[in-house]
Structure 1
Amino acid sequence: MQLEINSNNEIIAYLVCGGIDGIELVKYGGAIPDNFEENFKPSFYLLKNNEIVLNPNYIEPTPPKSAGGPTTEQQMINQLGLQVANLTAEVNQLKGGVSNV
């Protein structure tokens, strides 16, 4: 197993086989805690004295909270929808149709 370790000795990634160019990995051949792969999250484990141990300082990251309003992408989609509706109404007027806007 190869481990990617940050400056705090936290394990932020691991590889069972192979490698990744440009990333410094530490080869590890010691005991692996039960359910390591199932429980793995970046920084959840430390490499301490050449052993994988739970990180006592681990804090579960919290997802960013929404401000409650529409996102920028949603606002842009809404504006595009309004533009399509307006253009459709103009096309219908030019064709002699009825406008619903």
Structure 2
Amino acid sequence: MDLNAHGKVAAEHSKLPHERRWDSYSSIKEAAAWTASKEFEVRWFHFAFGCLVYNMWLLVDFLIQDRIGVIETLSEPRISLSRFLDWLKKELVTLV
């Protein structure tokens, strides 16, 4: 158990597993495109694509850690999701 200077348990260790999953789910929702469609197939595609983008973000974060030679499990990734999404958008626009 990690204690901070005030003798309290560090925040990242105090989260329950289902709370960490919620953080992942909210990040996937942020990575997915928004839709107002009621069609299950369209909504499922948007969620699946969001999962793909989320996993690409985690892979890029891991590869950056590997490149600099420091692989850690941090509570926050080295690259924010919004920065990754901006980069991805720029790369996709140049392809089209």
Q: TM-score, normalised by structure 2?
A: 0.27
Identify the structure with the greater strand proportion.
1
Identify the structure with the greater helix proportion.
2
Q: If you compute each CA radius of gyration, which structure gives the higher value, 1 or 2?
A: 1
